[in-house]
Amino acid sequence: MKTIKIILAACILAFGFSSCNDDSDDPIIIDENPLAEFAMLATLTANNHSVEVYSEQQQFTIGYNELFLRIKDEVTDSYLTNADISWTPIMHMTEMMHSCPKSALSKTEDATVYKGFTVFQMPGNTEEYWELGLEYTVDGQTYNVSERIEVKAPADGKKRVNVFTGADDIRYVLAMMPLNAEVAVNDYSALLFRMENMMMFPEVANYKIKIDPRMPGMGNHSSPSNEDLTYDTSSKTYTGKLSLTMTGYWKINLKIENENGDVLKGEDVTEENESSSLFFEIEF
């Protein structure tokens, strides 16, 4: 019994020492990129850092963009953790400048990855462009970087964002969340923002977004079991159910109401009126 204990202790000691040695001898390992499956849409370089911007999408596109950031220290060839980051997308237009709705940038389970979303209202063109500005603080030091980015219309040309003036004379931005459409009753959600000024777009809570999906190519038929989008406090999104009974082109006619039930934008689809002035589009 005693010998077994000694052998065991020796094993533990040997094991312990060898793993200690391994730790100190190893060079700094750069972990595999946790965003390897995403597309890198931009690299912003300054301060001996390069900020990499990733997305599941292949381009910055008008509407909702979920974005992931990593900050690489070019000197140590490693990624910074525990940075506090804020961002400001600015569109430089010929007559004015404006920003767009966006989330805060938050930390993720991977300490080197930060995450947030933007809702671009319009694409850039030859004279007008978007610039992404970042301010980040690491170890008490604050850095800035900004770079021009290319925001394009979606490749399929479908409408996923609406900028409109409500009956209350307020400008709103309404964006559809990405949807993996299936012939089924799909979870469907959207984000709504108010344009307070050129730079501030606070979220709007507790409105109602009524949906009426139609297939204009097929007698403008609808579908059963749809549920209007209502505000969900925990996710801060408007969520409901979108019923798609077949594949093809669908126009999601919308009508938006404030908390008093006043219609701010959009019309009912009737025999005489085949579409609302407020809508999203899907083709699958």
Binding site for Cu ion (CB under 5 A): 91, 93, 122
Distance of CA 108 to the CA centre of its chain: 14
Distance CA 273, CA 255 (A): 14
Token pair of 284, please? 């699958």
Of the candidates 67, 73, 227, 68, the residue with the CA atom closest to the CA atom of residue 141: 73
Q: How far is the CB of 59 from Cu ion (least distance, A)?
A: 17
Nearer to Cu ion by Cβ, of 35 and 175: the residue is 175
Q: Cβ closer to Cu ion: 122 or 138? A: 122
Q: How far is the CB of 162 from Cu ion (least distance, A)?
A: 15
| Whole-number Å distance between alpha carbons of 280 and 284 | 14
Smallest distance from Cu ion to CB 87, Å: 17
Beta carbon nearer to Cu ion, 93 or 145: 93
Picking from 142, 137, 59, 77, the residue whose alpha carbon sits closest to that of residue 105 is 137
**122 or 170: CB nearest Cu ion:** 122
Residue 93 or 181: which CB sits closer to Cu ion?
A: 93
CB of 124 to Cu ion, least distance (A): 8
Min. distance of Cβ 252 from Cu ion in angstroms? 24
How many residues belong to the chain?
A: 284
User: What does the alpha-carbon distance between residue 180 and residue 242 come to, in Å, rounded to a whole number?
Assistant: 11
